């Protein structure tokens, strides 16, 4: 199964290779990996999606914690979480086919971010399945995808979850376990509807 781990790590040279080396050592394939900043200076957030048997997750987490500089590990797959991926698609499009693509973009809540005589670029954010849905429709419609870039998944637990580590580092509000509300299926739907970008 696919596991989604979020690891907060010190922003130091070489730490990422320690993390990836660990997965290689455990013979676990990383299907996606994103790294970026957090609300705390000097702390990076990595989201690692990896394919492994279900019962291997605790050992992967324990091994991650053994790396110096890994501050906190969360297996978000086990909790209600918002999981997003960003994709950029460059699609061959002439003046004639453009308007159909504009409509398609609207249906998928994607945005056209670049327009050239022979192509356009679409930006889409959402779950992996949504992105794959768009790709499939494009292919079925005989559109040529010239280039595609996917960011890999990012994930954040729903509700008022806060890292214990970051709590200890600064005065971030007390950690609370996610309430039942956050697990509400209605919430999920709501979120899917409201994922239009603000920019």
Phi, psi dihedral angles at 5 (to 5 degrees)? -105, 140
Residue 68 CB, shortest distance to another protein, in Å, is 4
Check residue 54 for interaction with another protein (CB under 8 A).
Answer: no
- Coil, helix or strand for 47? strand
Q: Is residue 128 within 8 Å of 82, Cβ to Cβ?
A: no
Q: Is residue 100 within 8 Å of 90, Cβ to Cβ?
A: no
Residue 25 CB, shortest distance to another protein, in Å, is 5
Q: Is residue 35 within 8 Å of 153, Cβ to Cβ?
A: no
Strands 119-126 and 70-75: unpaired
Q: At what angle do helices 15-25 and 57-66 cross, to 10 degrees?
A: 140
Task: Pick the piece of the chain touching another protein (CB under 8 A) from 41-49, 64-72, 123-131, 143-151.
Answer: 64-72
Residue 5 CB, shortest distance to another protein, in Å, is 13
Among 27, 54, 68, 174, binds another protein (CB under 8 A): 68
Give the DSSP H or E segment for 103: helix 95-107
Task: Pick the piece of the chain touching another protein (CB under 8 A) from 60-68, 109-117, 150-158, 173-181.
Answer: 60-68
Residue 154 CB, shortest distance to another protein, in Å, is 23
Check residue 62 for interaction with another protein (CB under 8 A).
Answer: yes
Check residue 17 for interaction with another protein (CB under 8 A).
Answer: yes
Q: Which stretches of the chain bind another protein, using CB under 8 A?
A: 14, 17-18, 21, 25, 55, 58-59, 61-63, 65-68, 72
């Amino acid at each position: 199964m696919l596991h989604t781990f979020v690891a907060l790590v010190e922003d130091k040279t070489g730490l990422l290779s320690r993390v990836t080396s660990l997965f290689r050592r455990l013979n676990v394939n990383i299907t996606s990996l994103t790294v970026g900043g957090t609300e705390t200076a000097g702390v990076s957030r990595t989201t690692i999606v990896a394919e492994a048997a279900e019962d291997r997750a605790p050992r992967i987490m324990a091994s991650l914690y053994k790396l110096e500089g890994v501050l906190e590990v969360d297996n978000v797959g086990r909790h209600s979480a918002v999981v997003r991926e960003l994709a950029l698609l460059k699609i061959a499009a002439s003046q004639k086919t453009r308007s159909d693509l504009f409509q398609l973009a609207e249906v998928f809540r994607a945005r056209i971010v670049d327009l050239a005589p022979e192509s356009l670029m679409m930006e889409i954010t959402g779950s992996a399945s949504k992105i794959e849905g768009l790709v499939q429709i494009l292919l079925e419609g005989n559109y040529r995808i010239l280039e595609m870039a996917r960011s890999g998944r990012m994930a954040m637990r729903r509700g008022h979850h806060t890292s214990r580590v970051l709590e200890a580092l600064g005065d971030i509000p007390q950690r609370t376990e996610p309430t039942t509300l956050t697990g509400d299926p209605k919430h999920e739907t709501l979120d899917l509807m409201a994922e239009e970008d603000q920019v």
